[in-house]
Structure 1
Amino acid sequence: MTSANAADLAARWGPRYRWLLLLSVMVGTMASIMSSTIVNVAIPEMSHAFALGQERAQWVSSGFMVAMTVAMLTTPWLLGRFGYRRLYVATMLLLMAGGIAGGFAANFPVVLAARVAEGLAAGAVQPIPAIIILRAFEPHEQGKASGIFGMGVVLAPAIGPSIGGVLVDLFGWRSIFFMVVPFCLASLWLAFQFVPDTAPGGAAAARGKRLDWLGLALGAAGTLCLLNGLVELHGGGVAAWPLLAAAAGAVVGFLAWQRRQIASDGNPLMDLRLFGDRRFAMGSIVAFIYGTALFGSTYLLPVYMQLGLQLAPSHVGTILLPAGLILAVTMALVGRLSDRLPTHVLVSTGLVILTASFALMATVPMAHPIVPLVAWAILGRIGLGFILPSLNIGSMRTLDKALIPQGSSAINFLRMLGGATGVSLCGIFLEWRIAAHGDLLTNPVTTAARIAAFDESFGLLAALCALAVVAAWRLRSE
């Protein structure tokens, strides 16, 4: 692997270099995001193949997001220790290996291990684009760059479920694991061309600092205990409250240890001084709630369409495709607006639209659901298009440049922690409401009671988005 710093590459490629760099990380991020969402289309068939209950099946999604969430905390240290190019290449190789292993898996534990490997890779790579946008682009270009980057990234989950649904119908659930392979290969070629060892617009971090292993262990333990506790709580297991108590204890221990690391001039996994910036603190709250609603709905929508409305997997992808394309266009337009309009206006507008889209899911009829499903999915994606280009960049613009890697890692961690919680929360809430209405997901016939349970689950997501508007309004400058 040849060494190349950002200055050398910028001199070689000229003014267009920052856009070529953005394209390079965009392809890898597309692969990581595709791997996080496309498997949801195949969960029902995979559950049947391995005779899984709903609680175990949802760990295909939850296990991925737990690994991704925890891995995000390590990104600043990994960038400082190995450099941008080496880290990026390693994550793409791990992501590709996980896809191949999952596709050839003969049992569920191998599938789960492959998903964890993919999650680790996706978590380490996803904070990088925001760092590059804030360091390689001038402030008046950051919104445009974020919008173009977001437009490209959302095309993967927009097109992915559509293609994935067809693949599941034609070749079975295994085929969807292999979809990340061509993206990973392309990203590896681009990495050797355009991704530098050092950070664009900033010096490389000190390599002598050790990873905060205790902080990482506490973060991982807290996340695992939280999600397991939620599942046990729904099932009425005796281990629920001890697990939730352990999660709370891990959070307290994590925060105390991070404060001690800061006081002793150590290397904290999450620099708590970030939250002294009001805009970053409010952005983090929005990111957590938004992640809960977004990833919860990503899990809930395919299950609703297949087990609630009895649609085929290929129909699920086709219904979501127009919404994904609208999202890409919206992000490109809003990205340009975010260089001129306040962050709190754009994010609050997006959350209000997203709230409406979830609430309107209750109006979808069982007899002819396609048109309203497409309409409300498009409305929701328009809301996301207002939020995605604005939230991270707007929350971190006032941070010191030295804190940008930590800020990107922390806000992505909180968003994914919300996402991992959201997937479990939606699965738990859905089964609770179905049982309360006297139905079962294993019942092959859809009933009005089952649809009512889904409507209530979408209502929960609407309430969460409405709550996030309060914090989003606090993103305004004072």
Structure 2
Amino acid sequence: MPPQNEAPSGSSAALAARYGERYRWLLLLSVMVGTVAAIMSSTVVNVAIPGLSHQFNLGQARAQWVTSGFMVASTVAMLTTPWLLARFGYRATYSGCMWMLLAGGLLGGFAQNFPLVLAARVAEGLAAGVVQPIPALIIMRAFEPHEQGRASGLFGMGVVLAPAVGPSIGGLLVDWFGWRSIFFMVTPFCIACLYLARRYVPVTAPGGAAASRDEALDWVGLTLGTAGTLCLLNGLVALSGGPAWEAGALLALAVLSALAFVAWQRRRSARGQAPLMDLALFAWRPFAMGSLVALIYGTALFGSTYLLPVYMLMGLGLSATSVGGILMPAGIALAVVIPLVGRLADRQPTRLLVNIGLSLLALSFALMVTIGLQANLWWLMVYCIVGRVGLGFILPSLNLGAMRGLAPELLAQGSSVIGFVRMLGGAAGVSLCGIVLEWRLAAHGTALTDGRHPAARLAAFDEVFLMLAALCALAMLAARGLSQGSRLTPPR
């Protein structure tokens, strides 16, 4: 047993004593590497969808589940992050996720049939979902309020390198080595993260307490959340291709699951049991409005992340390498902007920064309709840059605006919940874009694989981009309720 005045080995206090002032930045670097791996596994697979479709003879709906399966698993897994951290601590939870992400990448790369590819994507999604709320929690706990914007900006700059560099490298790998090489991209990141986690990530739970094995996971709540998410996404898919009764039944089940989930969480709280989602969070208006912004923003962001590569590959007929080349400058612009905005978030109202970002993102979507089959692709690159600059304003500001003012004991739940609603919007956004695209293609009398009507195919894409612009405009209304300053009094 260590002396009473000495912190237990592996705790955040002991690691801070060992590494000094730089420790919080080393910890931030450690979780950043893992988050880069998680985000890369989410986004880079989009450039491989045509190759996967050809390899396994997939239709649009089945190919879309390569992305949607990841999103569903990631969305539901986020709800378990607070429980896992409390039960196993930061290090065991984080390292376990990296092992799962590594295993998913290897399984997907060597898979010989589509069910194995889908299983690999689900495993990657589960790992990514647990990991992604952790950095926001660390920033809110390890950094002083006047440093949180800077830390968010630096963290965001590192994280955005994944979608900036990932599609470009991914496009080259697909052209040179085929779609399987995409799955192996996460391997070096996972190995690096396992090393960093062993050195810098504390073994303790949030707040510095020892991990406790007493509280059982809320399996009923997790089952209801999973059922509701699956019914929602399958109901959206059925809207486009299935019978009306099937779509109606699935969407009704999604609503019933959501109501049952809320009722169950209230019941657990009344009994003094830890809920999977603490509904007390939504009594804090900035958090409630931030969650609404995150939901709509996630729908537009992840829907466009799926749509843009498909638009360039199958709407404009570009190669995977060209797609990567067009997206790379936009990613670099985002990496430059995000730390600058992070510093602004320590001094400027977060709702102002979020609204600027949403305005630029909406503008970039609206400008896509000006790209024609004979248009100069430099303009396409410029419009992508405008959208990524908008993201640079949103990413460091949204979590801070929603979570500043929450009581310390609610931070883990807050980070998990806002990540959950963002990913729920993202999962719905991917399905929504696919559904609306198929609907508009049919309305224009064409299909993605129809090479005879390129102008009609492009018009369908344009209409989906306008829908995304409208969603961003809607999110701007909710963003008015975010925190106005950097320091708030906790709700009483």
Q: What is the TM-score normalised by the length of structure 1?
A: 0.98
Paired position in structure 2 for 1:303: 310
CA deviation after TM superposition for structure 1 residue 242, in Å = 1.0
Q: 1:207 & 1:369 partners in 2: Cα distance?
A: 60
**Residues in 1 aligned to 2:474 and 2:376: alpha-carbon distance in whole angstroms:** 28
The equivalent position to 2:50 in structure 1, one of 44, 61, 71, is: 44
Change in 2 beyond 3 A, CA 1:181/1:445: farther
Paired residues of 1:136 and 1:200 also in contact (CA < 8 A): no
| Larger CA deviation: 442-451 vs 463-472 | 442-451
Correspondence list, 1:162-173, <5 A:
162-173=168-179
* Residue 265 (structure 1) aligned with residue 298 (structure 2): no
> What CA deviation, in whole Å up to 9, does each residue of 1:105-149 have, x standing for no partner?
000000000000000000000000000000000000000000000
- Superposition deviation, residue 55 in structure 1: 0.5
The match for 1:154 among 150, 154, 160 is 160
Aligned to 1:293: 300
> Which residue, 175, 198, 205 being the options, matches 2:204?
198
1:397 aligns with one of 369, 394, 404: 404
Note the alpha carbon deviations across 1:382-404, whole angstroms, 9 max, x for none: 00000000101221011000000
Aligned equivalent of 1:430, options 432, 437, 446: 437
Return closer, same or farther for 1:400/1:202 CA change in 2, 3 Å cut-off.
farther
The counterpart of 1:442, out of the listed 438, 446, 449, is: 449
By how many angstroms is 1:202 displaced? Answer: 4.0
SS of equivalent to 1:366: coil
Contact 1:309 1:446 in 2 (8 A): no
Pick one of 420, 445, 456 that aligns with 2:463: 456
Do the aligned partners of residues 354 and 88 (structure 1) sit closer, same or farther apart at CA in structure 2, a change above 3 Å counting?
same
Cα pair 2:401 2:483 within 8 Å, conserved: no
Cα deviations across residues 169-188 of structure 1 (Å, max 9, x unaligned)? Answer: 11110001000000000000
CA contact (8 A) 1:308 1:446 kept: no
Deviation at 1:3, TM superposition (A): 5.5
Unmatched runs of 5 consecutive residues or more in structure 1: none
1:182-193, aligned counterparts within 5 Å?
182-193=188-199
Q: Cα offset for 1:248?
A: 0.7
CA displacement 1:381-440 (0-9 Å, x = unmatched): 000000000101221011000000000000000000000000000000000000000101
Structure 1 pair 200/267, CA: closer, same or farther in 2 (3 Å)?
Answer: closer
- 3-state SS, counterpart of residue 447 of structure 2: coil
In the alignment, structure 1 residue 121 sits paired with structure 2 residue 145: no
Where does structure 1 differ by over 2 angstroms across 4 or more consecutive aligned residues?
Answer: 199-207
1:333-370 Cα offsets, whole Å, 9 max, x none, are 00000000011100011001111000000011211341
Give the alignment of 1:43-192 within 5 angstroms: 43-192=49-198
Q: 1:337 is aligned with what amino acid?
A: L
Partner of 1:250: 257
How far 1:445 sits from its partner (Å)?
Answer: 4.2
Q: Which residue of 2 aligns with 1:475?
A: 482
The CA distance in 2 between the partners of 1:251 and 1:114, in whole Å, is 28
Aligned partners of 2:206 and 2:412 also within 8 Å: no
Number of aligned residue pairs: give it.
Answer: 477
How far 1:199 sits from its partner (Å)? 4.5
Give the corresponding residue for 1:23. Answer: 29
Q: Which digits, 9 at most, give the CA deviation of each residue in 1:51-86, with x for residues without a partner?
A: 111001000000000000000000000001110000
The Cα of 1:203 is off from its aligned counterpart by: 2.9
Q: CA deviation at 1:205?
A: 5.8
* Residues 324 and 381, structure 1, Cα contact 8 Å, conserved in 2: yes
CA distance in 2, matches of 1:294, 1:205: 35
Q: Aligned-pair distance for 1:239?
A: 1.8
Equivalent positions of 1:402-421 (< 5 A) are 402-421=409-428
SS at match of 1:383: helix
Q: Percentage identity across aligned positions?
A: 68
Does 1:382 find its partner at 2:389?
A: yes
Which sections of structure 2, spanning at least 5 residues, go unmatched?
A: 1-7, 486-492
Give, in whole Å, the separation in 1 of the partners of 2:51 and 2:218. Answer: 40
Deviation at 1:451, TM superposition (A): 0.6
| 1:208-259 CA-partner distances (Å, limit 9, x unpaired) | 1111100000000000011011111110334211111111110000011011
